[in-house]
Amino acid sequence: MPQTINILFLAAEAEPFIKVGGLGDVAGSLPRGLRALSSEDLKLDVRLVLPHHPAVKADSLKPVGMFSLLRDGVEIQVEVSETVLNGMPVYLIGGEPIRANGSVYSLNSALDAEKYAFFSLAALELANRINWQPDVIHGNDWHTALSMYGALTKRWEEGSRHVATVITLHNLPFMGPDASAIIEKYGLKLAQTDLPEWARVMPLPLGLWASDAIVAVSPTYGREILTPEYGCGLNEFLLSRGDAVSGILNGLDTASFDPAVDVALGANFSVDSLDKRAVNKRLLQERLGLPHDPETPLLATVSRMDVQKGIDMIFAALKMMKKSKWQAVILGTGDPKLEAEALKLQEALPDRVKVETRYDAGLARQIYAGSDMFLMPSRYEPCGLSQMISMRYGCVPIVRAAGGLNDTVKHGVTGFVFEKAHHMALAAAIKSAIKVFAERAKWREIQCAGMAQDFSWENSARKYLELYRSLIKKA
């Protein structure tokens, strides 16, 4: 009999059921990456739990059953359905607080607080109901943090078994709304924690406090959150957790993001047929209505329009580079102010700048495959996915040395890295990239080095497995 490790994996979103951002990519791939590590001696039984958002797309859903949680002395129903994804059981948790909040993340923080408290506590109870005991509960971000908190406080109060808990941090500034009243309504006590006072009522800090291990989505972000600059007021607390804090770099779905087979591309290519990449550049320039010129460097960004991503720095840098030869494409939606600024830039430079303010996965892939340089000047970037995709597609990234960008791009080898979060620093990096772009052979070397990187999930999944093992031993 192989040894089995049972892992209950919780997230607010996961591909292919529902995806809003990078968390959805990770929660869709990592559980399957972990299961793929199973061997004759070790079985990793990972099961994914998601809220049954109205927008979730799932085939052949089976009802698993209902149970109730007591909230303010009143029973509220938890409706659980199950589906299977490549052999992995996936549970969808439904109920009134989840239906009441139509979108995955609401602008109404009270609705969000109710929804995710309900989800976190129902997910915790689910394991008992399906008669399957997890060895590890693995949550992601604030939406699931009350599961870790609930697991610890229940263990203390009811003397239940120690189940190892892990929380992965994808974005520290999002801590969730004050949940103190809701926590008490569900019959949990607000514990005496060593968190800063303002944080003692918020889901994420409570989850960090309760978890056995805290994993940032890159080693650099794991160190950054211990500093005042990136620690969002929790740096002292996180420092006090010592060895419990680490960083594991996310992987990429390398089967989906593969320029050799990607059906969205006009011409497929690989490191051995890089010349064919030029077809994609021509098609992209055509599609966007940019003058067709293989010699003009085509700069790109595919991003949420958000100050976190430093989109404003891109606008400012491009404005001061009118004398150099370049074209740019900007794809993304988000902050209406940034969208308007992007469109203004397009108006000012109509034969150079093309802006598409929408979400378009197909166009995004054509941009990775057809443009020359990918701009990602993020003010902070826990991991980042686009820089990995762009390297895989032979598009050279120009990034700020923050978080996962710092861990994935090597200056002068696979891309260009600059330090200061300032548009002048970005402009200087773009200018030096444009210089190298003119030296064909050197540019190609950088493209090939990027394409040769291994960003597959296996490495990350192995690190998580090591962590689970060490925690189970301690528990």
Q: How far apart are CA 261 and CA 255, in angstroms?
A: 9
Q: Which two tokens stand for residue 470?
A: 């060490």
Q: How far apart are CA 383 and CA 172, in angstroms?
A: 12
Distances (CA, A) of 424 to 65, 108, 204, 236: 58, 37, 35, 32
- Please report how close the Cβ of residue 141 comes to ligand GLC at its closest, in angstroms: 8
> Does 147 engage in binding with ligand GLC (CB under 6 A)?
no
- Are 230 and 224 spatial neighbours (Cβ–Cβ below 8 Å)? yes
Q: How far apart are CA 249 and CA 366, in angstroms?
A: 26
CB proximity list for 154: less than 8 A, separation 6 or greater? 124, 160, 188
Q: Which amino acid is at 361?
A: A
With respect to ligand GLC, which residue has the nearer C-beta, 402 or 446?
402
- Give the nearest residue (CB) to ligand GLC: 22
With respect to ligand GLC, which residue has the nearer C-beta, 12 or 396?
12
- Please report how close the Cβ of residue 171 comes to ligand GLC at its closest, in angstroms: 5
Per-residue x/- marks for ligand GLC, 190-219, CB under 6 A?
---------------------------x--
Q: How far apart are CA 355 and CA 303, in angstroms?
A: 12
Which residue from 87, 83, 144, 88 is spatially nearest to 112, judged by alpha carbons? 144
With respect to ligand GLC, which residue has the nearer C-beta, 17 or 118?
17
- Please report how close the Cβ of residue 23 comes to ligand GLC at its closest, in angstroms: 5
DSSP H/E element including 149 = helix 145-158
Tell me the number of residues near ligand GLC by CB under 6 A.
Answer: 14
User: Looking at 49, 385, 395, 471, which residue binds ligand GLC (CB under 6 A)?
Assistant: 385
Q: Which residue has the tokens 């160190």?
A: 223
> Does 382 engage in binding with ligand GLC (CB under 6 A)?
yes
- Please report how close the Cβ of residue 227 comes to ligand GLC at its closest, in angstroms: 17
Interface segment toward ligand GLC; rule CB under 6 A; list 151-159, 231-239, 383-391, 438-446: 383-391
Q: Which residue has the tokens 């994935």?
A: 408
> Does 225 engage in binding with ligand GLC (CB under 6 A)?
no
- Are 368 and 252 spatial neighbours (Cβ–Cβ below 8 Å)? no
Distances (CA, A) of 251 to 217, 219, 221, 229: 10, 13, 15, 26
With respect to ligand GLC, which residue has the nearer C-beta, 21 or 89?
21
With respect to ligand GLC, which residue has the nearer C-beta, 26 or 164?
26
- Please report how close the Cβ of residue 261 comes to ligand GLC at its closest, in angstroms: 24
Per-residue x/- marks for ligand GLC, 232-261, CB under 6 A?
------------------x-----------
User: Looking at 120, 165, 171, 371, which residue binds ligand GLC (CB under 6 A)?
Assistant: 171
Four-CA torsion 78, 83, 84, 89, nearest 10 degrees: 10
With respect to ligand GLC, which residue has the nearer C-beta, 21 or 334?
21
With respect to ligand GLC, which residue has the nearer C-beta, 379 or 462?
379
> Does 143 engage in binding with ligand GLC (CB under 6 A)?
no
- Are 313 and 423 spatial neighbours (Cβ–Cβ below 8 Å)? yes
For the segment 18-77, give every residue that binds ligand GLC (CB under 6 A). 21-23, 26
With respect to ligand GLC, which residue has the nearer C-beta, 81 or 250?
250
- Please report how close the Cβ of residue 249 comes to ligand GLC at its closest, in angstroms: 10
Q: Which two tokens stand for residue 27?
A: 């929660």
Max CA distance (Å), the chain: 72
User: Looking at 32, 35, 52, 170, which residue binds ligand GLC (CB under 6 A)?
Assistant: 170
With respect to ligand GLC, which residue has the nearer C-beta, 15 or 125?
15
Distances (CA, A) of 244 to 10, 247, 276, 313, 429: 20, 10, 47, 35, 36
Q: Which two tokens stand for residue 215?
A: 């994993």
With respect to ligand GLC, which residue has the nearer C-beta, 163 or 234?
234
> Does 383 engage in binding with ligand GLC (CB under 6 A)?
yes
Which residue from 337, 371, 369 is spatially nearest to 354, judged by alpha carbons? 371
Name the site residues for ligand GLC (rule: CB under 6 A).
21-23, 26, 170-171, 217, 250, 381-385, 404
